[in-house]
Structure 1
Amino acid sequence: MKTTINTIFAAMLTGATLLSSCDDYLTTLPGDSLVSEGAITTEEDTKTAVNGLYQGLISATDPTSNVSYNYYGTDFITRPEVGGDDIQTRMVGDRTENFYRFTDRQNNAKESLWYVPYVLINRANVLLEAIEEGNIPMTDVTKNSQGEALAIRALAHFNLLITYGTPYQKDNGASLGVPVVTSVLDATALPERLTVAQGYEAVLTDLTNALNLISENKTYGHINRWGVKALMARVNLYKGNYDEAYNYAKDVVEHSGYTLVPNSEYIEMWGKRENSESIFDLDLSSTMYSGSRELIGAVVAPSSYGAMVATTDFLNLLNEDPSDVRLGLLINDKEGKKRVINKYPGLDGNVIVNNIRVIRLSDIYLIGAEAALRKNTPDQKLADEYLYQIRHRANPNNTKITATIDLIKKERRKELVMEGHRLYDILRVGDTVERKGGTHFLNGEDLITVNWNDYRTIMPIPQAEIDANPQIKQNPSY
């Protein structure tokens, strides 16, 4: 069954309460208990509701069909990876083939990239409305829950914008983005698409408000004030507001207390639950997820589906420096070729269960370096230093060099591969890449030249949404 925004809200509104639904709205992580029927009335209830938001970032189940959709659990990472030039689908028929070949259309596109963010947004709105009604004591715990809910709502809207909207810098946000939903809607609501610019304004407003509420305390698996600032750096980078991206990235790098994992621990950190540069991870529970073979660990692992491998171009790029520690991530694929980037080796020997690195400090170093060169008054010294820190961690023999945009782009590719960034890095600044040669199996009808001028780089709005809501217009050319 195709799920629309309307049916999401209808599902949340059925039964005796908004707060206890078939979608396990208030499912805790890692448990499965629910807030008692009918109310979010205490600070502890707000904490339980927030836990449900984090679980929902991984996946959500459609209560009308009992179908589960993986979000950060799989699809939000795999699409931008195999849609770029560093990772490809291994062979015809593998699970990521549609994303690799850009064959998603309005009638067959993955529901996860549309459905799950709007489930999250509605969950956040229910919690925020309960707090804003003033019936819950406004303690530090309640304020923090409010801040976390605003941050997650912002993240969900931002991810929708970069999935279904034209990159901001192509037309300064003038084209259509997605519906921005900031209140609990009833099942008859017909929200319309706002412009990309309006969407970014809503995202940045939520993040700004979150900063005034959320704590700096580090609770693993939760976003804190530093995580919000890191997300502000990312959003402003995509928007082309480089002065703001620079300011937020610099603040996080220099004052947050997070530190880069040393070279000697880089490889092993991927199989650990937590590390010193984890600004915001999603903490998967082996109890809850150990049986889900659709999570990214199984999609990548040669012992399971083994569907994603490095391209020849990327292997050549990484091998430019034979002493680069990141070469140690390469393992053999199903065919015995050393081309799997093993960032999802599994926790405690279970390849299915991997904590998802939503925001790492290394990303913020590279955002800061890029923004430093692109901002109104460039800061070459900071760009040089931040680029050096990432290159030096990769190979302690690397010395400081003069940073350029091209060098920073190259380092982003090496450092952030398989973390869900590459396609968006290409699109956000209007770059073009060619996906051909090597082991690619694309044909003349596939998207080989990737840039923001091809309509297929923006996902189609699900047709069920168009049919149910006359206010929604489809993306051009679909």
Structure 2
Amino acid sequence: MRTTIHTIFATLLTGSLMLSSCDDYLNTLPSYSLVSDGAITTENDTKVAVNGLYEGLISAKGLYYYGTDFITRPEVGGDNIQTRMSGDRTENFYRFTDRQNNARESLWYVPYVVINRANVLLQAIDGGAVPMTDVTKNSKGEALAVRALAHFNLLITYGTPYQKDNGASLGVPVVTTVLDAAALPERFTVAQGYEAVLGDLNEALNYISEEKTYGHINIWGVKALMARVNLYKGDYEEAYKYAKDVIEHGGYSLVPNSEYVAMWGKRENSESIFDLDFSTTTYGGARELIGAVAAPKSYGAMVATDDFLNLLNEDQADVRLGLLIEDKEGKKRAVNKYPGLDGNVFVNNIRVIRLSDIYLIGAEAALRKNTPDQDLADEYLYQIRHRANSSNTKITATLDLVKKERRKELVMEGHRLYDILRVGDTVERKGGSHFLNGEDLIKVDWNDYRTIMPIPQAEIDANPKMIQNPSYK
């Protein structure tokens, strides 16, 4: 049976599980099921349930979210990375050939699994089923933050970019309560979706801890996410404020130039604000994870475009050139950000929010806000460029320079297509290695309906109130 929001909520009424430990939860509970009502009664239960949220962000019911698809789609859909050859795992995303009847369900179904898990936990806490201890408060903060992240990711995948029409177009269903199996949720506007996301993040600040527990989001991760969401929204004052706060007070630091290439094969590093920790899960043999999809010794489906290689080679001393390795054809164009932990190419921790990203968000917001802060933009851009090449000196930051640096620094991390779309930019996929044809999206901007994913057929069939995105059929 294909999965829908309806079937996600239906499982709530049929399943039951008494929580005892994190391992029991992750090993016993099917990834597509939910913790049933009444199963969360202690502060330890809330910690176990929170672990289930992070597990869900990786995958659910064999559908890979941050595990693969949420990273690969915006990468091969942009201009930095392309699918290596026809028939490879990422071809649909590269050619924008997803339609209502064949769209991959992972980007729709899995976030709603996570959202409903968060709602079950929040209902238990807010309903008084769990004593309100410091542990419980932090669990509530994490649940609110993860729910916000899942809703935000749905918005940028299925909704028109906020800045195109100030959020007036349809976004996605915003689900903030535990719904019954008969529920038929309707789409909110993009603006309403952003309001809900920022509302959750603001509320999370009242509960979540500053403690740095690897693989978990903390107060600085929430503020970093607020910087990202506000950047997409075009509220540059808020993006600037939160990015500056994280950089100046969060206690994170950029990995030195000498350790940059090696850090990608390590579990954590000094600029990890929020990583998904694969090393504590049971995904060691999953051949559809991002590591296997990208690695030349496995599928090797993703390679750098000629355009990106030319960009990176503008500075022959750029440390990021050290990430390039030979692809399956012997060409040095695979970007090795997923080399595997302990030699296992299938296991790579996912950098959801890095300090590098926050520096670049801060630089862009400083330039775009009503009263620009040129000095701060210059400094933040310098920090990234200087880390890439210690010979780089401070220069006057411009939006074009910040955009260029985002391309270089955040390649293969799941940002590029969204960076293009959020401000109405256009990218031309050029160079001699593309296998696109005249029917594919060679130029990408927010006016083409194919840049927004279609809602899967199963959801349209199950919910008569669900409106499909324009032009899909």
- TM-score category, normalised to shorter length: over 0.9
In structure 2, relative to structure 1, the CA distance for the partners of 1:54 and 1:196 (3 Å cut) is same
Residue of structure 1 equivalent to 2:52: 52
Residue of structure 2 equivalent to 1:32: 27
Deviation of 1:470 (Å): 1.3
The answer to whether the 8 Å contact 2:36/2:120 transfers is no
Amino acid at match of 2:91: E
The answer to whether the 8 Å contact 2:12/2:36 transfers is no
The answer to whether the 8 Å contact 1:25/1:123 transfers is no
The answer to whether the 8 Å contact 2:159/2:452 transfers is yes
Deviation of 1:39 (Å): 1.8
- Correspondences of 1:76-95 after superposition (within 5 Å): 76-95=70-89
Residue of structure 2 equivalent to 1:65: none
Paired with 2:20 and 2:5, the residues of 1 have a C-alpha distance of: 16
Deviation of 1:4 (Å): 1.0
Paired with 1:111 and 1:26, the residues of 2 have a C-alpha distance of: 30
Structure 1 residue runs of 5 or longer lacking an equivalent are 62-67
Per-residue CA distance 1:51-105 (angstroms, 9 max, x = gap): 00000000011xxxxxx10000000000000000000000000000000000000
Are 1:144 and 2:125 counterparts?
no
The answer to whether the 8 Å contact 1:373/1:379 transfers is yes
The answer to whether the 8 Å contact 1:230/1:364 transfers is yes
Q: Runs in 1 of length 4+ with deviation above 4 angstroms?
A: 24-31, 33-38
Residue of structure 1 equivalent to 2:32: none
The answer to whether the 8 Å contact 2:26/2:52 transfers is no
Deviation of 1:357 (Å): 0.3
Paired with 1:291 and 1:78, the residues of 2 have a C-alpha distance of: 19
Residue of structure 1 equivalent to 2:155: 161
Deviation of 1:171 (Å): 0.1
Residue of structure 1 equivalent to 2:11: 11
Amino acid at match of 2:51: N
- Correspondences of 1:130-279 after superposition (within 5 Å): 130-279=124-273
**DSSP-derived class of the 2:195 partner:** helix
Amino acid at match of 2:444: V
In structure 2, relative to structure 1, the CA distance for the partners of 1:134 and 1:364 (3 Å cut) is same
Are 1:346 and 2:324 counterparts?
no
Amino acid at match of 2:353: I
Amino acid at match of 2:332: K
Paired with 1:476 and 1:242, the residues of 2 have a C-alpha distance of: 29
Deviation of 1:37 (Å): 9.0
The answer to whether the 8 Å contact 2:38/2:124 transfers is no
Are 1:408 and 2:428 counterparts?
no
Paired with 2:376 and 2:110, the residues of 1 have a C-alpha distance of: 38
Amino acid at match of 2:43: E
The answer to whether the 8 Å contact 2:25/2:48 transfers is no
Q: 1:458 aligns with which of 452, 463, 473?
A: 452
Paired with 1:370 and 1:467, the residues of 2 have a C-alpha distance of: 42
- Correspondences of 1:313-392 after superposition (within 5 Å): 313-392=307-386
Residue of structure 2 equivalent to 1:475: 469
The answer to whether the 8 Å contact 1:30/1:284 transfers is no
Paired with 2:14 and 2:25, the residues of 1 have a C-alpha distance of: 26
The answer to whether the 8 Å contact 1:87/1:310 transfers is yes
The answer to whether the 8 Å contact 2:327/2:333 transfers is yes
Amino acid at match of 2:45: D
Amino acid at match of 2:59: S
The answer to whether the 8 Å contact 1:290/1:353 transfers is yes
Amino acid at match of 2:467: K
Amino acid at match of 1:369: A
Paired with 2:188 and 2:24, the residues of 1 have a C-alpha distance of: 33
Paired with 1:154 and 1:421, the residues of 2 have a C-alpha distance of: 18
- Correspondences of 1:264-303 after superposition (within 5 Å): 264-285=258-279, 288-303=282-297
Residue of structure 1 equivalent to 2:113: 119
The answer to whether the 8 Å contact 1:29/1:52 transfers is no
In structure 2, relative to structure 1, the CA distance for the partners of 1:420 and 1:287 (3 Å cut) is closer
The answer to whether the 8 Å contact 1:27/1:48 transfers is yes
Residue of structure 1 equivalent to 2:42: 42
Paired with 2:53 and 2:385, the residues of 1 have a C-alpha distance of: 35
The answer to whether the 8 Å contact 1:29/1:54 transfers is no
Amino acid at match of 1:12: L
Deviation of 1:25 (Å): 13
Q: Compute the TM-score of the two structures, normalised by the length of structure 2.
A: 0.96
In structure 2, relative to structure 1, the CA distance for the partners of 1:219 and 1:52 (3 Å cut) is same
**DSSP-derived class of the 2:275 partner:** strand
Residue of structure 2 equivalent to 1:432: 426
Once the two structures are overlaid, the 10-residue window that deviates more, 206-215 or 2-11, is: 2-11
In structure 2, relative to structure 1, the CA distance for the partners of 1:28 and 1:159 (3 Å cut) is farther
Residue of structure 1 equivalent to 2:102: 108
Amino acid at match of 2:343: G
Paired with 1:45 and 1:260, the residues of 2 have a C-alpha distance of: 35
The answer to whether the 8 Å contact 1:286/1:353 transfers is no
Amino acid at match of 2:161: P
The answer to whether the 8 Å contact 1:85/1:434 transfers is yes
Residue of structure 2 equivalent to 1:64: none
The answer to whether the 8 Å contact 2:20/2:45 transfers is no
Per-residue CA distance 1:291-343 (angstroms, 9 max, x = gap): 10000000000000000000000000000000000000000000000000000
**DSSP-derived class of the 2:224 partner:** helix
- Over aligned residue pairs, what C-alpha RMSD do you find? 1.6
Structure 2 residue runs of 5 or longer lacking an equivalent are 30-34
Paired with 2:225 and 2:349, the residues of 1 have a C-alpha distance of: 19
**DSSP-derived class of the 1:285 partner:** helix
Amino acid at match of 2:435: F
Per-residue CA distance 1:18-38 (angstroms, 9 max, x = gap): x56xxx999659952668994
Paired with 2:130 and 2:468, the residues of 1 have a C-alpha distance of: 41
Paired with 2:120 and 2:114, the residues of 1 have a C-alpha distance of: 10
The answer to whether the 8 Å contact 1:28/1:51 transfers is no
Per-residue CA distance 1:381-418 (angstroms, 9 max, x = gap): 00000000000000000000000000000000000000
The answer to whether the 8 Å contact 1:30/1:287 transfers is no
Per-residue CA distance 1:239-265 (angstroms, 9 max, x = gap): 000000000000000000000000000
**DSSP-derived class of the 1:280 partner:** strand
Q: Percent identity?
A: 84
Residue of structure 2 equivalent to 1:446: 440
The answer to whether the 8 Å contact 2:13/2:36 transfers is no
**DSSP-derived class of the 1:137 partner:** coil
